[in-house]
Amino acid sequence: MRFTTSASPMLALLLAAPGLPAQQPPKEAPIQDNSFLLEEAYNQEPGVIQHISTYTRLQQSGDWIYTFTEEWPVGGLAHQLSLTVPVQRLASSPDGGRRGFGDVALNYRYQALGDGDSAVAFAPRLSLLLPTGNHRQGRGNGHLGVQANLPLSVALGERLVSHVNLGFTHTPHAQDLLGNEADISTWNMGQSFIWLARRDLNLMLEFAYTSGDVVAGPGVRQPTQSAYVAPGLRWAWNLPKGLQVVPGLAAMVGVGPSRGETGIFLYLSFEHPLK
């Protein structure tokens, strides 16, 4: 899943409970909870954790972001906690484009409807965005923020699945490079179509759009938007002891407000039982 962790338009896309029983996924488990720009509505199975790395680089701006996410089930399928840590480089930052940490996201998601075996699944998420990034270098918002996302997953047939996202992020007293403050908000929406070519190979088409504000002066907000289409693919290696490794890649193609920008998205997931 992807989380908004900074005011940058590019980035606006993007605790295991003791006593949980170890539960191995099927040996030939299909690829499922491995979306790129969007978030699927499937919580982790009890006793199974996931480690996700992503890397996005934009060609024209030279900006890039790496994120590491860990997802943990809590007491069963209904509740899930996760942590997302971003490291990023903005070519236009005052420090000459040095890399550094962005704002860390602490996430809770509730499986309100269905699961990975259902035709329809819904799992709303609430996140706290911690001001761990250096806002004076453009790598954070300088204040605690909150984000909500509503992912809906629908099986359109035996081989076609769609994910729909609608989300909102609000950061009061966000700060710009000069320390000016303003309250900022961002809306995000997106849709994806996943074709299950094989149980271990999926073709993907995702669309992600954001519209919001950045701080432009004391109490002043400036609108910003981004929109990307990302055709890609992912595949799986189902290994012994329940380990599933899923690499993937996609092209980033800017459309609308992001027209002319292109890039690449890389993905790598490790999913395995706790024991």
pLDDT at 26: 42
Better pLDDT: 237 or 97: 237
Domain spans of the chain?
Answer: 48-273
pLDDT at 91: 82
Percent of the chain with pLDDT over 90: 78
- Cα angle 193, 199, 205 (rounded to 5 degrees) comes to 20
Per-residue pLDDT at 161 exceeds 50: yes
Percent of the chain with pLDDT over 70: 89
pLDDT at 3: 41
Q: How many CB atoms lie within 10 A of CB 4?
A: 27
CA of 186: how far to CAs of 112, 172, 258, in Å? Answer: 24, 12, 16
Integer Cα distance of 59 and 83 in angstroms: 28
Per-residue pLDDT at 18 exceeds 90: no
Judge whether 241 and 272 are in contact, CB under 8 Å.
Answer: yes
**Average pLDDT, integer, range 170-177:** 96
Integer Cα distance of 9 and 226 in angstroms: 6
Per-residue pLDDT at 152 exceeds 80: yes
Cα dihedral sign, 30-55-153-111: positive
pLDDT at 93: 80
pLDDT at 28: 56
pLDDT at 4: 43
State in words which class domain 48-273 has: mainly beta
Judge whether 209 and 193 are in contact, CB under 8 Å.
Answer: no
Per-residue pLDDT at 11 exceeds 80: no
Instruction: Give the range among 94-103, 161-170, 185-194, 195-204 with minimum mean pLDDT.
Output: 94-103
Integer Cα distance of 11 and 9 in angstroms: 5
Q: What is the pLDDT of residues 22-63, one digit of tens each?
A: 333 444 556 777 899 999 999 999 999 999 999 999 999 899
Please, which pLDDT band fits residue 133 given cuts at 50, 70 and 90? very high
Q: What is the pLDDT of residues 114-129, one digit of tens each?
A: 998 899 999 999 999 9
Please, which pLDDT band fits residue 81 given cuts at 50, 70 and 90? very high
Integer Cα distance of 153 and 111 in angstroms: 12
Judge whether 60 and 186 are in contact, CB under 8 Å.
Answer: no
3-state secondary structure of 17: coil
Per-residue pLDDT at 15 exceeds 60: no
- SS3 readout for 143-162: CCEEEEEEEEEEECCCCEEE
Q: What is the pLDDT of residues 194-204, one digit of tens each?
A: 999 998 999 99
The stretches of the chain forming alpha helices (DSSP H) are none
Per-residue pLDDT at 215 exceeds 60: yes
Better pLDDT: 13 or 163: 163
What distance lies between CA 127 and its chain's CA centroid? 12
Judge whether 68 and 11 are in contact, CB under 8 Å.
Answer: no
3-state secondary structure of 147: strand
